[in-house]
Structures are given as structure tokens and as C-alpha cells.
Structure 1
Amino acid sequence: MEAKGMEELIKLAFLHVDVIGPHVHEGHYDLVGPDGEIILPQVWETMIQPGWAVTMHMWPMPEPTPPPEPPKKKSPYVQSDPTNQSWARTSRTSTPEEKVVKE
């Protein structure tokens, strides 16, 4: 089999494979012979021998981009505008349960 035919066969095998399929179609892999040598497409026909077990090694894939962090909720007690001091003027009133009745 010619190198071009092997490439097409590999692409077909990974046509519907999520995640690594697109990387295979971009050629992000090496074909390695039984002695551990990378078999380049240019020397495939002269290097490959009948009966060899050829292994496909994927190149390292980039780390997935983490999703953006959700916006942080603003605390109602944190003053975002230093000139706005309306929060400081409000006072807390006690509820009827909190009032102590002196007899």
C-alpha cells in the first residue's frame, strides 16, 4: 500500500471520532514501525516491510480552554461607588420579636 492510500485509510477510520478525529485529519500523528522509528510518508514505500506491526501515535493535544468564570455576585453590603453613602444612612429597626418588654 502506498503512503497516500494509508493516509486515506487512517482518515476514514477516524472520520466520525469525536475529539481526536479532527486532529487525525490534520495529520497530527506519527506512524511508528516495530523498531520504534517514525515512518515518514516520503519513505513509506521503501521502508515498510510485509508483516510489520505499525503503530499510530497521536501528537500531544492542546489543553482544552476552561470555561469563563461566572460573574461574581455583588454583595449588598459592599459599596461600589464611594460617593454613594445611602447604605450608611439606613438604620436597622428591630422586629416585634426582638423588642424586650420591661415590666
Structure 2
Amino acid sequence: MSPRPYRLGQRAETTERNRHRILEAAYELIAEAGFHPVSVDAVADRAGVTRVTVYRRFGSKRGLFEAVSSHRMDQAKLARLDQARAHPDVVEALRGFLR
């Protein structure tokens, strides 16, 4: 019997897509209702995954919240970096990025 061929690239893409959907769903729900009223079940439902997937990926509701915060900060940094790249003055661009 030959080994079953795995498509790790496709699996990794699905994992990353689910992670993004979970983070976006959690962000939307927290923005609507605040942190405490939001349940992992509600996040999973909105993201179209199971609660087991959320817990497996983030460990806890707090872990999910920390990941959402980190994800949003990363997005803000990237947006500022894009703005800095568009600026002709390198020194001013770096100052803008570091603010």
C-alpha cells in the first residue's frame, strides 16, 4: 500500500483562511457587544467553524482576544508602513512609521 499523498499547501491555506475568518468574526462581535458578552460559540458560528477549531487554534477566549488585538495592531502597522513608503522624504516616512 502506497502512502497517502497529502497536499500540505492546501491544508495550510485552509488553516490560514479559517484563522482569518475567526479573527474577523471575533473583532466584529467584540466591536458590536464588547468583550464579556461575546462567546466562543458565537465567534465560531459567525466564522463558520466549530468551537473546537477556535479552542484548538487560540486556547481560550482570552487567547482569542489577544490574537485579535495583535492582528489589528499588525494591520495598523502595515497601513502606516504603506503610507510611509508613499512619502518622498525617507526621514519623515520613518518618523511616521514609528509613531
Fold shared by both chains (TM-score > 0.5) = no
- Using structure 1 for the length normalisation, give the TM-score: 0.21
> Greater share of helix residues, 1 or 2?
2
> Greater share of strand residues, 1 or 2?
1
